[in-house]
Amino acid sequence: MARKPHPEEPGRFAYEGLDRVLHEKARLGIMTSLVTRPEGVLFTEMKRLCALTDGNLSRHIDVLQQAGLVEAFRGTEGGRPQTLYRLTSDGRSRFAAYLEELEHVVRDALPKAVKKPERLPEVPPGFQPA
């Protein structure tokens, strides 16, 4: 009988659903802040929430806007020009799809990562540290 009755499918760990536009620390924070605030977030406030510099926040938001995930509204508040950012409907659903893929990763890996194996597995005979 074969040692591996069911060899794992090719691409099992490829995670194609992890959209590069979303799979980025800073933009992940931006999207999360926006999804928790459907009414929108002002530039300055988002800067605080995500701990980003002006330039980085501007650039990342631009990427998200180009991708159609975020929309912007200009106005004034307290006598100063302000920009309000919101998720688009498409942005929300694409973000949800991304998060579901992330959830799969966590489900795959976390249970196996948290428990320390009682003994290190043997290295097969003839194999030597690189």
Q: Which of 3, 6, 80, 116 binds its own copies (CB under 8 A)?
A: 116
* Amino acid making up residue 98: Y
Cα-only R_g, the chain:
22
Shortest distance in whole angstroms from residue 33 CB to its own copies? 5
Q: Which of 14, 53, 78, 79 binds its own copies (CB under 8 A)?
A: 14
Shortest distance in whole angstroms from residue 118 CB to DNA? 29
By CB under 7 A, residue 27 contacts DNA: yes
Tokens at residue 5, please? 């009755």
Question: Which residues are registered as beta bridge partners of 83?
Answer: 74
Give the three-class secondary structure for 39. Answer: coil
Residues ≥6 apart with Cβ < 8 Å to 21: 27, 63, 64, 67, 69
By CB under 7 A, residue 28 contacts DNA: no
In the block, residue with structure tokens 């060899």? 7
By CB under 7 A, residue 81 contacts DNA: yes
By CB under 8 A, residue 32 contacts its own copies: yes
Could you say which of DNA, its own copies, none residue 5 binds, taking C-beta under 5 to 8 angstroms by partner kind?
none
